[in-house]
Every structure is written in C-alpha cells, then in structure tokens.
Amino acid sequence: MKVTVIGCGRWGSFLAWYLDRMGHSVSLYGRESSNRMRALLQSRSNDLLTLPERICLTTRLEEIGRSDAIFVSVDSQHLRALLRDEAAPYLHAGQIVVLCMKGLEIGSGKRLSTVAEESLPEDVEIAVWLGPGHVQEFCRGVPNCMVIDSNSKSVKERLVSELSGGLIRFYYGQDLIGNEIGAAAKNVVGIAAGFLDGLMIPTLKGALMSRGAREVSRLIGAMGGNPVSAYGLCHLGDYEATVFSPHSHNRRFGEAYVKGETYSDLAEGYYTAKAICQLADSVGVEVPICSSVERVLYQGVSPQEELKRLFGRSLKNEF
C-alpha cells in the first residue's frame, strides 16, 4: 500500500518505521511548526529510532490524497478539528483512515471512530488500531499482539493481511464499541495504578485490575457493545503495558501527580477520565475507579482519601 502517517511523535514515528518494515510506501506528515518534525527533518531520528531514507518526510498534508490508507496518531482531543478542517478536503472514496490512538472526546463523550465518521466524507472507510505495545519494546524486537477493528469486514481483512508480521500479530476485532471504550478506559485505570505506585501500595493493583475490567464491561454493555470485550486485548489484555510498565505514560503521570512532580508527556487518560464519567452518567452506569480518578484530577480530592473510599467500598461482594 501507499500510506501516510499523520503525527510525528514517538508512536507516529514508530508507525512509519513499522509500515516501512512491512514493505509499504510510507510518508510521515508533521506540521512545519512542530519541534519533533523539525528534528526528524534534520536527523531522521528521535530518541528511540531512525527512519530509513526511503520514508518520505513531509509538511504538506495534501500528500494524503495519494494514499491508500492514512494512519492517524494525534492527541484525541484534536482529532475532530484535524479531520474536519484540514484532512477531509484531500480525502476521497476508497481510502481508509486508521485511528491509532485511544480516547474519548470531552464534552460529547463520543468514541473516536464516531468523531471521524462525523468529520470525513461518507465514502471514506474508518478503522482503529488498538491494543498493548510500547515503542521502546517494539524497537528492541519484542513482539506483541494488537487488534484491528472496523464496521467494514473487508477493511479489517485487508489491514490485518497487510500489517501482520513477526513483530506484531493482529487480531480481527469483533466489537468496535467495546474495543474503543475498553481501550480508552484502560488509560484511566493506568493513572489509578500510578496513584498506587506513588503511594507505595502497588499490592492493590490486583483489586484495581479485576474491578476495573468489571466496571468497564458494564459500561460497554450499556453502550450496546459486548461486555466480554473488556477482557480482551483492548482493555484487560493491555493492563501489563499500562498498569505495570515503566514506559506507560498514564501510570507515570499518576505516580508523578501523587508525588507532586511535573509530568510533561501526554497522558490520554487525563482527558478520558472526564469524558468516560460523562458517558457513564448518560447511560446510568457506575464507574467507581474512573470516577475516583476524575475527582482527584478535576475536583482536587486527596488521592489518599479517594483510594481509601474506593477500596473500602462494598465489603460483602467482590465486585
């Protein structure tokens, strides 16, 4: 395929590197004003990888018009404006837009595929690339399994066929609603895990994981998805990379927050905590862990008191 990656951060740069590795013709787009893009244009490298010369680096977004597939890796809260105001004029029938990030839109609580559907021409296909994996590990040759999902069976089949290799094995997603909600919510659970690390009580991560998957399964079911999706790669299967890994931005953000330290990298779970609570309220589902994270981050509640309240909840029943 001829593909373009939009977003030149660590994950976007990795996507370009990986797609090139899989034999595709790759362009990587970044804004002229981006410090990361300027660094790539100068050295073709960041702190994790070096891009081969055959990958085209461009600051011209119109390049996407010549691509079979466009892989998007940007801050989820900027997705609507990017697609609607910048990318949509260059897209046409038969192209595939693959969303390679996890989150929900604050204010609307909408899934990112819904945001894309509302922002792009009707004849552009939409897919999501989700699941566990850190650039640091992939670049060392450590393999993992991930998920491709879409409302289009043919799009899923094409992408899984074109993208699967020894480094990443892709599974066919069967539940776009559940996979997107589960993937977004796991970042919030990752922040809660960081709270536990910062407070030196990581032993509670077992309870956090079991209860986290259960509350997310209830939310997925209320949204019309398959509750079992919460126990797949999109959510529970991503806990190792999110709840324990030293590379997890969300876990590290939560730990830094409790310690009163500054954390400058993007932690999508910060925005998702508010969006997922809004979504849960709209369908009448309790999400105790996500609600606790939201109260700490947005309402100034003490992490110690909130965790004490959370883990003191329901002494009679496991869930």
The order of strands in the sheet holding 56-58 is 56-58, 25-29, 2-6, 69-72, 96-99, 125-130, 144-150, 168-172
- Residues noted as catalytic: 186
Q: What is the pTM of this model?
A: 0.94
The domain 2-172 is placed in CATH, from the list 3.40.50.720, 3.30.43.10, 1.10.260.40, 2.40.50.140, at 3.40.50.720
Whole-angstrom Cα distance, residue 96 to residue 281?
33
All structural domains of the chain with their residue ranges = 2-172, 176-311
Which pLDDT score is estimated for 312? Answer: 77
Which residue numbers in the chain have pLDDT < 70? 313-319
What is the 3-state composition of the chain as percent helix, strand, coil, each rounded to the nearest 5? Answer: 55, 15, 35
Does 2-172 match 176-311 in CATH topology? Answer: no
Which pLDDT score is estimated for 68? Answer: 97
176-311, which class in CATH?
Answer: mainly alpha
